[in-house]
């Protein structure tokens, strides 16, 4: 990885491209009526993935960029879950059949904050409304500080087969600075519980660019994480956006690493994981050889959605819960962000869609190009454009941001075949952004490119 490029491009604020167009471009022009129509129009052979958002935590981690709130009373959680079950039944009824489901993902917040019996009821509701395939991947995001043995048992009985553990950093100085004190022993205990329950698909989430973080502390976190043997890692750069996430103001900006420091941390983590035998997947994921994500990367079938990189091949993502985003062939929909507004819509018998985006042919073309760049560090523009009835030359001509990237050696262009140089792959978001017709560099809506 070239440090000069980290300096030149690292301060850009760019999307992570978990969708295209990205969520800031959603508008209220797409509402509940459009979503209902889109659901009714789903092809008979369509299969779906489900995302369920549980927006509650016991305490706020100051680095968090998610839609969540702190709760002390379990009654609020129980009421929210009743609403979630109602929404699941409502959406299934509008589809008009028990659509096949290949992936289920519980995100948050802290999904395991709910009572174990409530989790079992929620899984039963999904199986009643949808045909959850026996081979479906069912994944849950976990805060190791609060997971109980009873919840692990409920997850086992409900068919959960993948767990994503938030680790971030094992450095106690960093942990105190982000209000997330989590010992190695707590994390190790949770891994042991999950494996004894037969939940063997285990991911660790790590973050670089945190306050007081150094290359040495990042490498120590990797070393200790490797002792626990997760089969996947997700490694994200901290996105400091206190204007949008007010709790991030609790973080002292003076002790955040600069762009070059973030670059060095990202490089150190990536190199350590690769030396340990993990294959780098796209921008920020790592997996053991033979893992389904590693296989998808090698076979060029890897996809990208709101959970990051995925093996999910489906074209339908149904989002449930406050702020949840769905993706259908016609476009994107997002539920009300505020829990009260979401609950009121569902209680009134209406979909909770607050905004969305209807895709154009040009959007679909650019989405395919951006996804391939993000997933493969390359794109056959000729082939992609031909499938969309477009001319590669015209698309390249519109990508003015590509020229300096080519001049700086970040991108190689061989005819219509684009490839990101190996030593510049950490700038893959900058390359993808060259094809983003909606990007407004003046709006600081996103995290730094490095």
For residue 441, the model assigns a pLDDT of 67
**Tokens 């040009």 -> residue:** 362
Q: Are 447 and 13 in contact (CB under 8 A)?
A: yes
Indicate if 262 and 156 belong to the same structural domain.
yes
- pTM here? 0.93
Residue 305, beta-bridge partner list = 308
Average pLDDT along the chain: 94
Quick: pLDDT tens for 421-450. Answer: 998 888 999 999 999 999 986 665 555 555
| 1: in domain | yes
Quick: pLDDT tens for 344-391. Answer: 999 999 999 999 999 999 999 999 999 999 999 999 999 999 999 999
| 328: in domain | no
Indicate if 147 and 60 belong to the same structural domain.
yes
For residue 369, the model assigns a pLDDT of 98
Indicate if 365 and 229 belong to the same structural domain.
no
Q: Which domain holds residue 409?
A: 1-20+361-450
Whichever domain contains 450, its CATH number is 1.10.10.920
For residue 307, the model assigns a pLDDT of 84
For residue 6, the model assigns a pLDDT of 72
What is the DSSP code string of 2-18?
-HHHHHHHTT-EE---S
Q: Measuring CA to CA, which residue among 287, 273, 176 is closest to residue 218?
A: 273
Indicate if 399 and 378 belong to the same structural domain.
yes
Number of domains in the chain: 2
Whichever domain contains 191, its CATH number is 3.20.20.70
| 355: in domain | no
Quick: pLDDT tens for 121-151. Answer: 999 999 999 999 999 999 999 999 999 999 9
Indicate if 282 and 384 belong to the same structural domain.
no
| 276: in domain | yes
| 212: in domain | yes
For residue 443, the model assigns a pLDDT of 61
Query: Is the peptide bond prior to 99 cis by the omega test (within 30 degrees of 0)?
Result: no
Indicate if 135 and 220 belong to the same structural domain.
yes
Average pLDDT, integer, range 204-222:
98
Indicate if 171 and 316 belong to the same structural domain.
yes
Indicate if 307 and 164 belong to the same structural domain.
yes
**In Å, how far are 150, 159, 164, 198, 206 from 137, measured between CA atoms?**
21, 9, 12, 14, 22
Indicate if 5 and 53 belong to the same structural domain.
no
What are the start-end ranges of the H helices in 168-258? 172-177, 184-196, 215-228
| 343: in domain | no
Total count of residues recorded for the chain: 450
Query: What's the pLDDT band for 313 if we cut at 50, 70, 90?
Result: confident
Quick: pLDDT tens for 92-116. Answer: 999 999 999 999 999 999 999 999 9
Quick: pLDDT tens for 27-66. Answer: 999 999 999 999 999 999 999 999 999 999 999 999 998 8
């Amino acid at each position: 990885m070239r440090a000069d490029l980290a300096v030149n491009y690292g301060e850009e604020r760019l999307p992570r491209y978990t969708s295209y167009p990205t969520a800031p471009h959603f508008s209220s022009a797409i509402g509940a009526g459009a979503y209902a129509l889109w659901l009714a129009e789903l092809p008979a052979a369509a299969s779906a993935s489900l995302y369920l958002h549980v927006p509650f935590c016991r305490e706020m981690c100051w680095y968090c960029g998610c839609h969540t709130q702190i709760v002390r009373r379990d009654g609020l959680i129980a009421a929210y879950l009743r609403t979630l079950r109602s929404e699941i039944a409502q959406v299934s009824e509008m589809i008009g059949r028990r659509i096949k489901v290949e992936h289920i993902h519980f995100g948050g917040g802290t999904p395991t904050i709910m009572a174990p019996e409530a989790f079992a009821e929620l899984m039963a509701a999904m199986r009643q409304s949808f045909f959850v395939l026996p081979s479906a991947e069912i994944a849950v995001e976990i805060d190791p500080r609060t997971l109980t043995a009873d919840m692990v048992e409920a997850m086992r009985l409900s068919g959960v087969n993948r767990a994503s553990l938030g680790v971030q950093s094992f450095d106690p100085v960093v942990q105190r600075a982000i209000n997330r004190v989590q010992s190695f022993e707590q994390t190790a205990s949770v891994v042991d519980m999950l494996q004894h329950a037969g939940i063997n698909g285990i991911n660790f989430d790590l973050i670089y660019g945190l306050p007081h973080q150094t290359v040495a502390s990042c490498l120590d976190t990797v070393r200790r994480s490797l002792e626990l043997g997760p089969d996947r890692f997700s490694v994200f750069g901290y996105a400091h956006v206190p204007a949008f996430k007010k709790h991030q103001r609790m973080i002292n900006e003076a002790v955040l690493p600069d762009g070059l420091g973030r670059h060095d941390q990202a490089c150190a983590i990536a190199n350590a994981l690769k030396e340990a035998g993990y294959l780098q997947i796209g921008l920020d994921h790592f997996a053991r050889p033979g893992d389904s994500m590693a296989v998808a990367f090698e076979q060029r079938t890897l996809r990208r959605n709101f959970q990051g990189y995925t093996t999910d091949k489906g074209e339908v993502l149904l989002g449930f819960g406050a702020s949840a985003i769905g993706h259908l062939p016609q476009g994107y929909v997002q539920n009300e962000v505020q829990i009260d507004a979401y609950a009121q819509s569902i209680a009134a018998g209406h979909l909770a869609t607050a905004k969305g985006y209807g895709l154009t042919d040009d959007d679909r073309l650019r989405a395919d190009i951006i996804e391939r760049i993000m997933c493969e560090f390359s794109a056959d523009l000729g082939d992609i454009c031909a499938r969309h009835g477009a001319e590669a030359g015209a698309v390249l001509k519109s990508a003015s941001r590509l020229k300096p990237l080519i001049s700086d050696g970040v991108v190689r262009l061989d005819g219509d075949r684009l490839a990101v140089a190996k030593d510049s792959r950490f700038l893959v978001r900058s390359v993808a952004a060259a094809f983003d017709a909606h990007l407004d560099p003046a709006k600081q809506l996103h995290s730094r490119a490095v």
